[in-house]
Structure 1
């Protein structure tokens, strides 16, 4: 059986500075840390992508209960879509936004998260392993000041939840 959850190495590099204005987008691995994980879902890629990306506002809080999302428009999610976001991971609510910066059906869904003075890219990639199995790889650029153990724990929880929810509902 293939490995279901794989976690990438986490490297420590200079932390992002806290500013009152969002910082410029940083390429993955250029600042902070770049945790990533992959999960295999035993469902076809089209259904997996639609559940994850098209229904992101509805489903993200279900796999990660520390995040609350609200659509700012009734239009389908596409590049340029802005989603309101509240992160309660630290115990103190932090409001921000997610802007969809990449949307390629059945391949990639990427957002720029802006919250707490930080600008953090997040990206999901989708690959068909076979006609009934999809590999989903999720990566994020997080500030160096974020607790590494907490992020790893939350990514593991999200991987398990994503797989369980998708395989139950699709």
Structure 2
């Protein structure tokens, strides 16, 4: 359990540092902006208590908000992501097959489930994030394009990170 905690602390620091100093400056004409810091929330153990998950999500969002000068937009999107993660895991995983401290990594769960997990939750996060950022239906098409392109960009980066740290299934 201490090993899982240490991995998550290192993952939090590394992803936030990369988000703030690297991915903040990467984008395609303000249409596709990657937010791979959500990977920290996605890779938390399955059996983490909901209160702790919500607190970690809020802390992650507030930290990103501090560097992006947004007033709670990332915090709200991260808390919404935590809620959707709870619902998604509760619907799709039978927790008696997995340990409570199991991290949903590419090597521990089937790839189809992992891809759907990353795609759906990232899309949900981006819908909340960009909807709150725009907070109008005036340029709905522009916001929709930003959501889709940023989601694709973020999912590709998350899958590349997952491929980089891929471990074969332990049987």
**TM-score, normalising length: structure 1:** 0.35
The structure richer in helix per residue is 2
The structure richer in strand per residue is 1
